Structure 1
Amino acid sequence: MKMIAIGDNVVDCYLDQQLYYPGGNAVNVAVNCKRNGFDECAYIGVFGNDQKAEHIRKSLDQEQVTYELSRQVYAPSGSPGVQLVDGNRVFVGGPKNTAQHIVRLRLTPHDMEYISQFDVCHTSCYSNIEGELAQIKTACDISFDFSTNVGMDYLQRVCPHIKYAFFSGADLQDDQLDPLIEACHRLGVEIVGITLGGKGALFSRSGERYVQGVKPTEVVDTMGAGDSFIAGFLTAYIKHGRMESALDYAADCAAKTCTFYGAYGYPHPLERD
């Protein structure tokens, strides 16, 4: 099994600890897919040219996630501030002149030839890649994290190109869940998943519903738990094709991530470059 993630890389700056940790939805999912058992995981994104970018690349080297087709620009890395409130990560802003803000990734024929070697591509609403989804779809299946973006205009733009749709739905009302799932299916998505915070997750495959509860754990930090859930689900589902066991494994992965700081570890002192 082979997966590639395309999109964001950042460092999450824990203000209370004066430490930063590598992160970003695409990077987090790639790292966790490799940890969970994908034979090969790769990442394409835009790196800044600072010490933070170097730390992210070093962490990917350690996790055996390749990034050979990534770009680098003369700009600082994305570095959102984070505060922990009872173990829950709360973002408190960050600079707006970063590599993530000023450059959008555009895929070349060489990129597409490379991407076609993989079974699935994961990306998200944080990656500014919507305009590239149609051609990625010709190369492999697409997994897409919408986060809290549930507007119909955005669904219509993204859903026709993807196989897996993931949403963060802790703030959604119960009567919003089925219409969201049904809209995604109408637009061509095969599997729709909505994580619901402490209420677990609701998934649908071609209209058949599945419910997954939260696994008990000692919560230290929720950073990256949703990305770990996605990676766990993709790993188990692509390997075995069974919804129930894939969701159970995904819940285990999310619970484990809550037991340590950062999306996947690798703390570094928070200092000026």
Structure 2
Amino acid sequence: MSPATITVVGSINADLMITVDRHPLPGETVPGSGGTISPGGKGANQAVAAALLGADVRMVGAVGEDAYAEPATTYLRRVGVDLAHVHAVEGPTGLAVVTVDAHGENAIIVIAGANAAVDAAAVEAAREVIASSAVVVLQGEIPRDGIEAAARSARGRLVVNLAPAVAVDPEVLRRADPLVVNEHEATYAYALLAPGAESPDPRDAAGQDALVEAIHAAGVASVVMTVGADGAVLTDGSGLRRVPSPRVEVVDSTGAGDAFVGALATGLAAGLDLDDAAAHAARVGAYACTGPGAQPSYPTELDQLPS
């Protein structure tokens, strides 16, 4: 097993980027600009972020047989991600319509497209690649049975980013080390892990701490909850800790969470402990907010990172 090998099993999208002064209300039309296509998808974003930081990355996923397949994989190819297990299938490539307002806040509509083909059968075909990886990274933009098959095949460290929040076998979450979630995803994850139990409210620091501890107590080896500009809260059984995020001028937060996950996986694959890996990931995620788009905004040099 190579100690630096990461396999990302997940989504590959083309992102249609639109800029507006403010997001429209229901039934409202507002003027916008942009209309450019850039590569995206949570899986691809995390793979690119890790590869840019020096990791040896392999991707398991799918694109469609359409014009969006090439731009969707541009950065994956450029940064040297192994795409031997990314297959073209009938139908469209996954598409995300990303609208960013003047404050850098985004609203995103995701169309699964070819990502729906990354099911259990597709993942089983890559079982040996997954099993031989030091770190396996999963998200929620492929079918449930694909996520569960990848978790079963993983023999190295499993990083599960339950984003978006989707129903999976709770044992997938219990195998995560760590489970990476934001406040909303954490609440959903706890509901899967402890059905019927009252969840702590993560709208303040005390509630965030309580929720992370509750998820850990429900059988998850380690938990990292991102809390936006405030960084992250984490535990691995040796106490609750907070990792601050550098303060930056936000241009576009699209893909910042994926940059965090990719950097976290890279740190863990390189042998960092959870605290140091999360601190590094917070710097990478903050940097990703300083430029437009997802993959194009990721750091290419460590000295670019804010402190």
Match of 1:161 among 169, 175, 178: 175
Match of 1:44 among 48, 60, 77: 60
Structure 2: unaligned runs, 5 residues or longer: 19-32, 185-200, 298-307
What is the aligned partner in structure 2 of residue 123 from structure 1?
Answer: 138
Q: Over aligned residue pairs, what C-alpha RMSD do you find?
A: 2.5
Residue 177 of structure 1 aligns to a residue in which SS?
A: helix
> In 2, distance between residues paired with 1:252 and 1:25?
19
- State the 1:168 CA deviation: 1.3
- CA shift in 2, pair 1:110/1:133, >3 Å: closer
> In 2, distance between residues paired with 1:2 and 1:133?
16
The percentage of aligned residue pairs carrying the same residue is: 23
> In 2, distance between residues paired with 1:41 and 1:102?
21
Question: Counterpart of 1:7 in structure 2: which amino acid?
Answer: G
State whether structure 2 residue 203 is matched by structure 1 residue 173.
yes
Structure 1: unaligned runs, 5 residues or longer: 267-273
Residue 67 of structure 1 aligns to a residue in which SS?
A: strand
The answer (yes or no) to whether the contact 1:148–1:167 under 8 Å persists in 2 is no
What is the aligned partner in structure 2 of residue 271 from structure 1?
Answer: none
Match of 2:223 among 192, 197, 201: 192
The answer (yes or no) to whether the contact 1:7–1:127 under 8 Å persists in 2 is yes
What is the aligned partner in structure 1 of residue 14 from structure 2?
Answer: 11
Residues 91-170 of structure 1 mapped to structure 2, 5 A cutoff: 91=108, 93=109, 95=111, 98-101=113-116, 104-107=119-122, 110-128=125-143, 129-137=146-154, 139-147=155-163, 149=165, 154=168, 156-169=170-183
The answer (yes or no) to whether the contact 1:46–1:103 under 8 Å persists in 2 is yes
- CA shift in 2, pair 1:229/1:108, >3 Å: closer
What is the aligned partner in structure 1 of residue 104 from structure 2?
Answer: 87
Q: Count matched residues.
A: 260
- State the 1:203 CA deviation: 0.8
- State the 1:146 CA deviation: 1.1
State whether structure 2 residue 52 is matched by structure 1 residue 35.
yes
Match of 2:80 among 58, 61, 64: 64
> In 2, distance between residues paired with 1:181 and 1:89?
26
Deviates more, 1:111-120 or 1:124-133: 124-133
> In 2, distance between residues paired with 1:95 and 1:33?
24
The answer (yes or no) to whether the contact 1:130–1:157 under 8 Å persists in 2 is no
- CA shift in 2, pair 1:209/1:103, >3 Å: closer
> In 1, distance between residues paired with 2:125 and 2:119?
17
Question: Counterpart of 1:30 in structure 2: which amino acid?
Answer: A
Given the two structures, how large is their TM-score scaled by the length of structure 2?
0.76
State whether structure 2 residue 248 is matched by structure 1 residue 217.
yes
Question: Counterpart of 1:161 in structure 2: which amino acid?
Answer: R
- For residues 20-42 of structure 1, give each alpha carbon's deviation from its aligned partner in whole angstroms, at most 9, with x where no partner exists: 2111111111111111121x101
Question: Counterpart of 2:126 in structure 1: which amino acid?
Answer: D
What is the aligned partner in structure 1 of residue 279 from structure 2?
Answer: 248
- State the 1:233 CA deviation: 1.9
